[in-house]
Amino acid sequence: MTLDKRLYAILIGLSLGVMGGLVGLGLATVGAIPTLAGILAVLVGLTVLTDLRIALYGIVGMVILLPFGTLPFKIGFTPTLIDLMLGAFLLVYLIEWMNGKRRGFLFTAVHPVIALYMMWLVFAFVLGFQYGMPDLTKLRDFLVMLLTVGLTFILVDVLRETKILRRFVFVVFVFIGAQALIAITLFLLPDTLTESLLVRLSRIGYPDGGVVRYIEDDPAQGERAIGTWVDPNTLGGILALGAGMIAPQLFAQRPLIKQRWLTYSVFGAVALALLLTSSRASFLALAIGMFVIVISRYRRYLPALILVGISFLLLPPTQRYIGRIVEALQGADISTQMRIGEWTDALELISAYPLTGIGFTGTPFANLYTDVANMYLIMANQIGVTGVVLFLSAMIAVFLYGASAWRSAKNDPQLEAIHLGYHVALLVALTNAFADLYYFRLDFQASITAFWITVSLCIASSRLVLASAQSSPLLQGSDERDASAIEKTRLIR
């Protein structure tokens, strides 16, 4: 045996000995279940570091299934499980650049607008120092949000192939379906059992009590589904976003899953879980998204959609839900009245600091607050009307870029449904944001991550459609208008 082989054997022996010692120490100190969880975490971590796509799917899994999970210890702040997945993803991405596996960085016409928005976020954050200096947690939350917005650059560079974009929808399909089943199961279980199950997650950053939620916090009015998102409105938001992404698969010429009954079953479970959250804004946003899907591509299904809508309005089990939607539109229930009060206060704050807002770290006066159940108003509070305009400009740029690709996308069975689904999911999120704030408030990392990943998917699918159209004349359509649209897009890019 040569020296190299001996050294190799010694290193393997030492590694096995160290791992065995750590496992034994874990069993003796923290018990079998935490030790097993630690072993699985290490194995998952090693797997994630071997493949960029696995790291990306890991981010999606954590966002959907364990959005508020954290490590059970602090390092000045408490890292979240999403932090770990994001870190692993960026590490593998950098390694691919260093070893020459990745060459050439892809940009689109949308990215300069997003870059301007990111620069304004930094400006507003620093400007807010005059009202309060950030602590370590606030600084970390802001940097993570900035990094998440920056994912739009990295993901577009990573998502270069049709099969990856299609597989991404399948990953969302699996995880959002699992979350829907969890939410429905916890809703059906006795409240005490649901509470005891979710409280066990307190070891990784979840609340240690008071988890089960009710309509207007009144048990007499009924329970609200929360899943592992704990908050019913944020759960409703992610369910609506996921449902919007997979909904075109219900009608697609070439769906991801050949067994359409499975697609319908998962979509039905997600829709049911969404109803059980009693999140009216999320439900209405998804309804608008479904209408856009049918009108834009699948008009032959419009009578069926109308029939489903009428049935929903008339069926006895849904009457209470419809009544709550009517109350919200009339401003007659307590939660809507509270929202109206917040909106009024927000408009007063915006009128006092219209251009730049007051930042993220403090307020000029003790009685001022920036939180308001409307993403656009909380944005205006913190980054000013200027920031809102830049954000909306970025979103308009995303949709215009997507529209320029749509003529070619609808002639490509591989890309048609996923391209439409990504943009509908973004529309659902932007619509839902009129009644909720979690796509912008710093401590809702999972929702912010889900939002900007969706933006990235929209841009990536549009870029890929246009690139495919330029390389394949068959995808350019059968009339001169299609060719003209593609040529204009080529000039823009």
Which of 166, 143, 164 minimizes the C-alpha distance to 90? 143
Indicate whether 137 belongs to any domain.
yes
Domain count within the chain: 1
Q: Which two tokens stand for residue 309?
A: 């809508």
Instruction: Write out the DSSP string of 36-59.
Output: HHHHHHHHHHHHHTT-HHHHHHHH
Residue 483's Cβ-count burial label (10 Å; 0-12, 13-18, 19+) is middle
Buried-exposed string 365-387: b where 16+ CB fall within 10 A, e elsewhere: eeebebebbbbbbbbbbbbbbbb
CB 263 within 8 A of CB 406: no
Indicate whether 157 belongs to any domain.
yes
**Whole-model pTM above 0.85?**
yes
Indicate whether 17 belongs to any domain.
no
Q: Which two tokens stand for residue 2?
A: 């040569």
d(CA 484, CA 159): 26
Indicate whether 350 belongs to any domain.
yes
Which residues 6+ apart lie within 8 Å of 172 measured at CB?
60, 64, 242, 245, 246
Indicate whether 48 belongs to any domain.
no
Indicate whether 15 belongs to any domain.
no
Indicate whether 160 belongs to any domain.
yes
d(CA 232, CA 229): 7
Indicate whether 207 belongs to any domain.
yes
Per-residue confidence in pLDDT tens, the chain, 493 aa: 454 556 555 555 655 565 565 556 555 554 554 555 555 555 555 566 667 888 899 999 999 999 998 887 776 677 898 998 898 899 889 988 888 888 888 889 999 999 999 999 999 999 999 998 988 889 999 999 999 999 999 999 999 888 999 999 999 999 999 999 999 999 999 999 999 999 988 888 899 888 999 988 888 888 999 999 999 999 999 999 999 999 999 998 888 898 899 999 999 999 999 999 999 899 999 999 999 999 998 888 889 888 888 888 777 767 777 877 777 777 777 777 787 888 888 888 899 999 999 999 888 887 778 888 899 999 999 999 999 999 999 999 999 999 999 988 988 888 999 999 999 999 999 999 998 889 999 989 999 999 999 999 999 999 999 988 777 654 444 433 444 443 344 433 3
Residue 375 belongs to what domain range? 55-492
